[in-house]
Amino acid sequence: MLFTDPRNHHAKDPAVVRFHGHDYMYYSTWEGELTHLSIGIARSDDLTHWEVIGDFAETQPCERNGVGAPGAIVLDGRVHLFYQTYGNGQMDAICHAVSDDGIHFVKNPDNPIYRPTADWCCGRAIDAEVCLFNGKLFLYIATRDHAYKIQKIGGAWADPASDFGRDAWTQIAAGSLLTPELTWEQECIEGPAAIVNDGQMFLFYAGAYNCKPQQIGVAVSDDGCFFRRVFTEPFLTPGAPGAWNSCESGHPCTFRDDDGQVYLFYQGSPDMGETWYLSKVKIAFDAQNRPYVEA
C-alpha cells in the first residue's frame, strides 16, 4: 500500500475503521493552495487500494481555520470521528461528529468538546485518538508545555454511553501520560494510536517533530492511565535514502481487522514534507505480549 491524495499529493494522520462492509480511512490533507487543512475520506475493500470518496464538511465556527488529525471508532453501528481544530495555536481543541454512512457527519453541538486544563500544559489539544478499554472510552491527545516547545501526550475518559459533549470527559491526570525522554524522541511525542491486546493497552506514538526525523515508538498500560515504554529504540524507523518515507515514518494508526490481523498505518515523506504518503505494516504480539512487525 502507498496512498496519497491525488489532488495535492498530501495525506497525513490516518485513521482507519471497518464499517458496513468497507474500510474507511480519514486523513489530513490540504485544500486550495495548500493553505487550509481539512479531512479527506477514502474507502477500500482490501486495505491496500484506496479511492477518495469525499471530504469532511466544515460547518461550525470553530472549524473556520481548518480541521485535521482525525481519530475514528465505530460505536453502536455509527462512525464517531474525533478531530482537532487547526490554525488557532494554543486554542486548538478536539471536536466530535457522528455518521450513519461514514461520509456525512452530524457535529456535536458542544464542539470543541475537549481541551486539557492549563495548569500542566498550554491548554492545546491536537491529534485525537479514542479506544474502548475497561468499560471507558479513552481519549488521548497531544499538547505542549507552557513554553510551547515540548509536545507531549495527555488524556481523558468518558462513559461510552454519553453524548461525548464537554461535560462527559474526565481528565486522566493533571500531567502528561508520556513526554519525550529518549534521545530519538527529541522534543516531541504526538500522534497517539491505541489498541488493546490480551488485557493491556498499547499506545503507539510519533517521536520527534515532522522530518527531524519522526519515528514511531510504543508504550503499554494496564489501566489506560499509566504508561511505560515497551522498547527504548524506535518501533518503526524511516526508510532508506530515496524511499517514500526516507524523511520519516510517523503519526501511526492502529487497526484490527475482522479476522484479528492488526495493522499499523503511518505517514511518510521523501522530500522533507513537500509531499506526504500513507502506508501500513502488519504487526503481531509475541509470547510476552510485545508487538513486532510481521515479515
- Could you give the C-alpha distances from 281 to 98, 121, 227, 254, in angstroms and in order? 28, 33, 23, 10
Three cell numbers at 158? 468518558
DSSP letter, residue 88: -
Max CA separation in the chain (angstroms): 49
- Residue 89 has φ and ψ, to the nearest 5°, of 60, -130
Burial class for 214, CB neighbours closer than 10 Å (0-12, 13-18, 19+): buried
* pLDDT of 33 over the 80 cut: no
Q: CB within 8 A of 98, min separation 6: which ones?
A: 78, 79, 80, 81, 105, 106, 108
Q: Which of 222, 188, 184 is nearest to 202 (CA)?
A: 222
For the stretch 174-228, pLDDT in tens is 999 999 999 999 999 999 999 999 999 999 999 999 999 999 999 999 999 999 9
Cis peptide before 109 (omega within 30 of 0): no
Which SS3 state, helix, strand or coil, does residue 94 take?
Answer: strand
Q: What percent of the chain has pLDDT above 70? A: 99
Q: Which of 111, 124, 183 is nearest to 154 (CA)?
A: 124
- Tell me the DSSP string of 250-285: EEEEEEE-TTS-EEEEEEEESSTTSS-EEEEEEEEE
What is the C-alpha separation between 162 and 92, in angstroms, rounded?
Answer: 23
What is the C-alpha separation between 233 and 244, in angstroms, rounded?
Answer: 22
Q: What is the dihedral of CA 239, 240, 244, 245, to 10 degrees?
A: 30
pLDDT for residue 35: 79
Cβ-based neighbour number of residue 159 at 10 Å: 13
Burial class for 256, CB neighbours closer than 10 Å (0-12, 13-18, 19+): middle
For the stretch 62-92, pLDDT in tens is 999 999 999 999 999 999 999 999 999 999 9
pLDDT for residue 161: 97
Mean of per-residue pLDDT scores for the chain: 97
| CA-based torsion, 80, 180, 206, 131: positive or negative | negative
For the stretch 281-294, pLDDT in tens is 999 999 999 999 99
Which SS3 state, helix, strand or coil, does residue 92 take?
Answer: coil
For the stretch 99-109, pLDDT in tens is 999 999 999 99
Q: Which of 46, 27, 47 is nearest to 38 (CA)?
A: 27
Phi-psi region of 276 (alpha: psi -120 to 50; beta: other; left: phi over 0): beta
Bridge partners, residue 291, by sequence: 285
pLDDT for residue 295: 79
Domains and CATH numbers, the chain: 12-293 (2.115.10.20)
What is the C-alpha separation between 100 and 43, in angstroms, rounded?
Answer: 15
